[in-house]
Amino acid sequence: MTPTQPLVDQFQRRISYLRLSVTDRCDLRCAYCMPERQTFLPRKEVLSLDELHQLALGFIARGVSKIRLTGGEPLVRRDMIELVRALGRQIGQGLEELTLTTNGTRLAEFADDLAAAGVRRVNVSLDTLDRAKFAALTRRDSLPQVLEGLMAARAAGLQVKINTVALKGVNADELPDLIAWAHGQRFDLTLIEVMPLGEVEADRFDQYLPLDTVRSALEARFTLTPSPHRSGGPARYFDVAETGGRLGLITPLTNNFCEGCNRVRVSATGQLYACLGGTEQVDLRAALRSEDPEAQLELALGEAMRIKPERHHFAIRVAGAAPALARHMSLTGG
């Protein structure tokens, strides 16, 4: 594809970051992410390896310099590592960084291959170190595999960031220990507020723990100093004096961060979601499967820039409310 204009939306935000979901399937069933009986998409709906590759190249040609592969669980897709290798070859050719977000259950198997393909950093989601709690929260007894995966990632030279969703009544009490543990392992850790995306069994109101409350509680044990560090995303960072590590806070609810948004998300079916919290979408699969994919993709990306909203409007204020969006995070790509 011939290089063209960078992607800039109607609010003059430059889009340089793509989150690309490679599957909606997952081997866990985190209670805040999806229901126990989740229906997954028929395979033919999901983009092929070639289509994912072509799409990613299209974004790189439009100035996207960072791609995060996600899911569902990206490492459950069989040909995933081939995509990582293909995209790894673009690093230094427009692409600056290729990363992935994973639940870690299959990291032990893939850590070396990921590192060899050019991946330098991975985000691993982990909400508790208590095996019984992990099994109850994810509905699978996989904590030992995740811990093994984390150690393998570190041994392979990957920088690890732990992502932890703060959940009232689940891990609130454990957060200081989890932070101390992660920092002791040389992993950064970022806390995330639960978002009202998709129907799950629990009431979001019962799960939601505002991070301003968490921060006050953490300050009973730790000295938190605001850090100028930025990772290109919405997290704001603090240095933790007692551990020597870095703590990130992602606060989509208590503190809206949309002003600096630099990203779009593409689902495994090729739907571009212009905003995590909105319904604005463009069908990139139709463009890719058309007679003239290159031209159609250009048109679709132009449309995406026109419809990207200024900000999301979701909130968790009352018990019993319907989700802000019917779409689960596992579909959009976290």
* Exposure string over 129-142, b if 16+ CB within 10 A, otherwise e: bbeeebeebbebeb
State which residue, 175 or 200, has the beta carbon closest to ligand SF4. Answer: 200
Shortest distance (Å) from residue 1 CB to ligand SAM: 28
| Least gap, CB of 105 to ligand SF4 (angstroms) | 8
**Closer CB to ligand SAM, 192 or 284, in the complex:** 192
The set of residues, in sequence order, having a beta carbon less than 8 Å from that of 325 and lying 6+ positions away, is: 196, 197, 198, 277, 278, 279, 314
Window 25-44: contact mask with ligand SF4 (x via CB under 6 A): -x-xxx--xx----------
Question: Which string of x and - marks every residue 304-323 that binds ligand SAM (by CB under 6 A)?
Answer: --------------------
Roughly what angle, to the nearest 10 degrees, separates helices 107-116 and 143-155? 20
Q: Which residue is associated with the tokens 């009986």?
A: 37
For position 128 contacting ligand SAM by CB under 6 A, the verdict is no
Question: Is 137 one of the binding residues for ligand SF4 (CB under 6 A)?
Answer: no
Q: Which does 29 bind (CB under 5 to 8 A by kind): ligand SAM, ligand SF4, none?
A: ligand SF4
Answer for which of 23, 103, 164, 267 binds ligand SF4 (CB under 6 A) is 103
By CB under 6 A, residue 187 contacts ligand SAM:
no
DSSP 149-183: HHHHHHHTT-EEEEEEEEBTTTTGGGHHHHHHHHH
Among residues 7, 15, 18, 33, the one that binds ligand SAM under rule CB under 6 A? 33
Residues 94 to 113: which contact ligand SAM by CB under 6 A?
101-103
CB of 6 to ligand SAM, least distance (A): 27
Tell me how crowded residue 91 is: count the other CB atoms within 10 A of its CB: 17
CA atoms within 13 A on the CB side of 73: 19
The tokens for 41 are: 């998409």
Find out whether 198 and 326 touch, Cβ atoms under 8 Å.
yes
Q: How far is the CB of 108 from ligand SAM (least distance, A)?
A: 15
Q: Does the protein bind ligand SF4 through residue 197 (CB under 6 A)?
A: no
For residues 182 and 245, is the Cβ–Cβ distance under 8 A?
yes
Residues lying near ligand SF4 in the complex (CB under 6 A) are found at 26, 28-30, 33-34, 71-73, 103, 125, 330
Residues lying near ligand SAM in the complex (CB under 6 A) are found at 26, 32-33, 70-71, 73, 101-103, 125, 163, 165, 192, 194-195, 197, 329-330, 334
